[in-house]
Amino acid sequence: MTNPPSTLPKLTLEEMTPPVIRPVAPGIKRPRWSVMIPTYNCARFLRETLETVLSQDINPEEMQIEVIDDCSTLDDPEAVVREFGQGRVSFHRKLTNAGAIHNFNTCIERSTGHYVHILHGDDFIKPDFYRTIEDRVEEHQEEIDLLIVRCLIVDEQGGLVSLSPRIKELESPSNDPSCMFMNNSVRTPGCVVRRSFYERHGGFLTPLVHTADWELWARATALGRGLFINEPLAAYRYFDGNDTGRLSRSGQNIIDHYRLAQVLTSYYLSFPRLRFMRGVVSSASAQADRFLALGDSTAFQANRLAANAIRRELPPDPRGLIRRFARKLAFLCGL
């Protein structure tokens, strides 16, 4: 596990420019839906993912379903597709492993539907996911580029851990992204994006390994319109072995928040950068403390280094100094 550097490199203008997504080629018959399922070493969950999509019983003319594998090394997702895809699911294996965010962009590029749903190969959806979203689109009778539902947060065995938060500010169509500035309440399996948005404004920013989805939800809301549906219709699986768990151990999720702040600062005049960055430092410290309590000294050190690297760039925060002093005093007193 690589520790964060003592100083944090800034993104270039090129790195902050979304990759181009070309329109669907002329002459291709387009379905309403593209369900694009990125996978990497998660075939043991893929059967459940496919079953929950296929159970929605939408015909092939209305729904493209494709699994896009980022060169899995530990399992064979193609075999799962052959066995459980019922001839209804196509499979594409990339020639080289490029990472999750590049694979998301490959999903978009290969999609042909008007609405694109990127559904991780270890996540799943609940009954009526697509019908509910279609109903809301028809109900509002206006172009909405981003539709979001609440997600059940589940563990490796599928046990319920929590529920993603409600986003009241988007329960009517809105192009105000400020509700996404301080935290990301959205989980990718609960999101559907109109393909024409990607064509107009580009795909996921690949330098943002942990926060590329966060940036895109804000961009889709600001440059299009976002709508939140207060129903738990998807499930997001979190465990130590997935990308989110791995990145938190290395502290790279903290570095990604630093990079995200740079992007949001350049895009939105109202983005509260200083408050955001102080929140990132606080989160990094809490994450470090959690790993210390778990006895994971390597993860503790990585997160502490990330927090210190960001703290050095910020003006002094008297409240933060008081909190750190209180923690140190409590430690020395054995409290």
CA distance 194 to 63: 14
CATH 3.10.180.10 corresponds to the domain 33-239? no
Burial 302-323 (b: 16+ CB within 10 A, else e): bbbbbbebbbeeeeebeeeeee
- What are the boundaries of each domain within the chain? 33-239, 257-332
The secondary element (H helix, E strand) that includes residue 124 is strand 124-125
Return the amino acid letter for 133: I
- The mean pLDDT of the chain is 90
% the chain with pLDDT above 70? 90
- Which DSSP symbol is given to 92? E
Residue 319 is predicted with a pLDDT of 64
- pLDDT tens figures, 133-187: 999 999 987 789 999 999 999 999 999 999 999 999 999 999 999 999 999 999 9
249 within 8 A of 292, measured Cβ to Cβ: no
- Which DSSP symbol is given to 198? H
CA distance 64 to 47: 17
Question: Can you give the pTM of this predicted structure?
Answer: 0.88
Query: pLDDT confidence of 207, banded at 50, 70, 90?
Result: very high
- pLDDT tens figures, 230-246: 999 999 998 765 555 56
